[in-house]
Amino acid sequence: MRLLLVHPSALMYSEIFLRLEPLGLERVAGAARDAGHDVRVVDLQVLDHADLRTELASFQPDALGISLNYLANIPEAIEIAERTKQAVPGCFVFFGGHSVSFVAEDVLTQAEGSVDAVIRGEGEPAVAPLLEAVREGGVAGVPGVVTLDGHGPAPRLLHSIDTPRPARDLMRHRRRYFIGELDPCASIEFTRGCPWDCSFCSAWTFYGRSYRKASPEAAADELASIQEPNVFIVDDVAFIRPEHGDAIAAQVERRRIRKRYYLETRSDVLLRNTEVFERWARLGLSYMFLGMEALDEAGLELYRKRVSPDENFHALEVARKLGINVAINLIVDPAWDEERFRIVREFALSVPEIVHLTVMTPYPGTEIWHTESRRLTTRDYRLFDIQHAVVPTALPLDVFYRELVRTQAVLHHKHLGLRTAFGAARVLGRNLAHGQTNFARMLWKFNRVYNPQRQLDDHARPVRYELPLPPHADLGDRRELYVHTRPAAHAKPPGPQR
């Protein structure tokens, strides 16, 4: 079959700080191609809707799949589905991805027939059975499938994340992917899943707290095949198991692979497994994203981070000693007042690290969705992008956005403003010499993208598609939140058990 896979447009945050290759979609493309299908990919982060229309007209796909890892992209995806049905009558349209897995039935209803199915759970083991079922004329028996007629069997977990290999060759304009100064930047996955259970996160509920590791040989093979000089390791928490990180490092050393790396991890993991991070720093680990989330004990307890402020600050000291640049994430509580914003600005200016702010957002699949969703001030999918407030703010909304953007602007000018650009002349020069302009462009885009009036005006847009409210869930048994479930006989996942 002819399969066209689509990644929706970039969100607000991605307009400046990063634009990552759609690794999950590439892996689904690889699985479909391994099964003998003719596959093409359109990434609307780097292409536009005119390119998609051209591809639809020339390729005439039998099936079109849209990746929906972000709620904010759902309205755009439904509109793409509607246009696809008009342009290619008979094309089977399906959605898949992290976020849509939690709202599948409601999205199908909202699409009013333009979406034939949603695949809940991991896409790699589902795509080939789905396409075979489409060819045979019925998809009800496909694991993870949801249609207007109901649910199919439970979604399957990929047995091994060593395969399928991402179909990176299908991507156009690969040099448009970057994260910060790592320009261009590819992505890779060493592990999948997270054994923690933070209240604001849906990674653990999606994977059912499972945790899988790529074999060191397969990870190094894939890393060696990547052409870009920079690589983002997309693991939810890197190097939970130090022996696994060391085994991959040994393969990288043996093959003399030289890259610069960016990864995400937790403060307690960095402190517990410092030696493996030190080894990777020698291999090129340049940047680390630490989700501190809060500066005080009360905030950390609210988000169930299971770390202390002392551990967070100690982790920053360790990263500095290792020579790794750290990007800190803090969650903005809508209950913040002007004094709290001022304290955060003072903290951010007092440390050398980059500080990012994300607005506390109750997403489907998270615990706070079931505790906070009844307080929603909007259910416009497009505002669920961690840059808009969707629950009541203590400050008037216009003042909240003014303080948010004011704080973000201070952080931006500290690290990415014009003065910083002169300090980053070497990096800029190197990137520009290789034709890479992503990092240079983002230095001057902040004021155009982050604007309190723009964010306020976003709340006044007409709303066609609204996020559904959650069904009742017994949070006494948090397995009720899982997309993927595992037989009780399976071993417990590594890491903290709660």
* CATH assignment of the domain containing 54: 3.40.50.280
Q: HEC profile for 241-301?
A: CHHHHHHHHHHHHHHCCCCEEEEEECHHHHHHCHHHHHHHHHHCEEEEEEEEECCCHHHHH
Q: Is residue 210 part of a domain?
A: yes
Please write the tens of the pLDDT for every residue from 178-187. Answer: 998 898 999 9
pLDDT 10s digits, 404-457: 999 988 777 765 554 444 455 566 566 666 566 666 666 666 667 778 999 999
Tell me whether the omega of the peptide bond preceding residue 184 falls within 30 degrees of 0, making it cis: yes
Secondary structure letter of residue 469 according to DSSP: P
Q: Do the Cβ atoms of 42 and 5 come closer than 8 Å?
A: yes
Q: Report the pLDDT value the prediction gives residue 424, as an integer from 0 to 100.
A: 56
Classify residue 490: in a domain, yes or no: no
Residue 95 DSSP SS3: strand
Q: Are residues 339 and 446 in the same domain?
A: yes
According to the model, what pLDDT value does residue 203 have? Answer: 87
Picking from 217, 206, 163, the residue whose alpha carbon sits closest to that of residue 26 is 163
Same-domain pairing of 295 and 380: yes
Of 458, 474, 491, which residue sits at a domain end?
A: 458
147 with 201, same domain? no
Longest dimension (CA), the chain: 63
Contact status, residue 201 vs residue 208, Cβ threshold 8 Å: no
Structural domain ending residue among the three candidates 426, 443, 458: 458
User: Per the domain annotation, does 473 fall within a domain?
Assistant: no
Domain that holds residue 49: 2-151
Per-residue pLDDT of the chain (498 residues; tens, 9 = 90+): 999 999 999 997 666 778 999 999 999 999 999 999 999 999 999 999 999 999 999 999 999 999 999 999 999 999 999 999 999 999 999 999 999 999 999 999 999 999 999 999 999 999 999 999 999 988 999 999 999 999 999 999 998 999 999 999 999 899 999 998 898 999 999 999 998 888 888 888 888 888 999 999 999 999 999 999 999 999 999 999 999 999 999 999 999 999 999 999 999 999 999 999 999 999 999 999 998 888 888 887 877 788 898 999 999 999 999 999 999 989 999 999 999 999 999 998 898 888 889 999 999 988 888 877 668 999 999 999 999 999 999 999 999 999 999 998 877 776 555 444 445 556 656 666 656 666 666 666 666 777 899 999 999 999 999 998 877 666 666 677 788 876 543 444 444 433
Q: Are residues 68 and 216 in the same domain?
A: no
Same domain, 128 and 182: no
How many angstroms separate the CA atoms of 80 and 147, rounded? Answer: 18
Whether 126 is covered by a domain: the verdict is: yes
- For residue 427, the model assigns a pLDDT of 61
Contact 120, 154 (CB under 8 A): no
In this structure, is the dihedral angle defined by the CA atoms of residues 395, 396, 397 and 403, taken in order, positive or negative? negative
The answer as to whether 160 is a domain residue is: no
In terms of DSSP H, where are the helices of 163-266?
Answer: 203-207, 216-225, 242-255
Does 143 share its domain with 183?
A: no
**Domain total of the chain:** 2
Q: Assess whether 293 and 439 both reside in one domain.
A: yes
What pLDDT score was predicted for residue 489?
Answer: 39
**Residue 264 φ/ψ, nearest 5 degrees:** -115, 140
Strand 92-96, strand 63-67: pairing: parallel
pLDDT of residue 415: 57
Q: Is residue 156 part of a domain?
A: no
Return the amino acid letter for 170. Answer: L
Tell me, what CATH number does 357's domain have?
3.20.20.70
Residues 376 and 451 in one domain: yes
pTM: 0.91
Return the pLDDT at 368: 85
141, 253: one domain: no
Q: What is the pLDDT of residue 492?
A: 42
Instruction: Put the strands of the sheet holding 38-43 in their side by side order.
Output: 38-43, 2-7, 63-67, 92-96, 117-119, 145-147, 150-151
Name the residue among 103, 13, 111, 109 with its Cα closest to residue 64.
Answer: 111
349 and 390 together in one domain: yes
Does residue 253 lie in a domain region? yes
Judge if 142 and 17 occupy the same domain: yes
User: Within 10 A of 112 (CB to CB), how many other CB atoms are there?
Assistant: 11
In a domain, 495, yes or no: no
Task: Tell me: do 103 and 222 sit in the same domain.
Answer: no
CA–CA gap between residue 16 and residue 263 (Å, rounded): 18
CA distance 314 to 357: 21
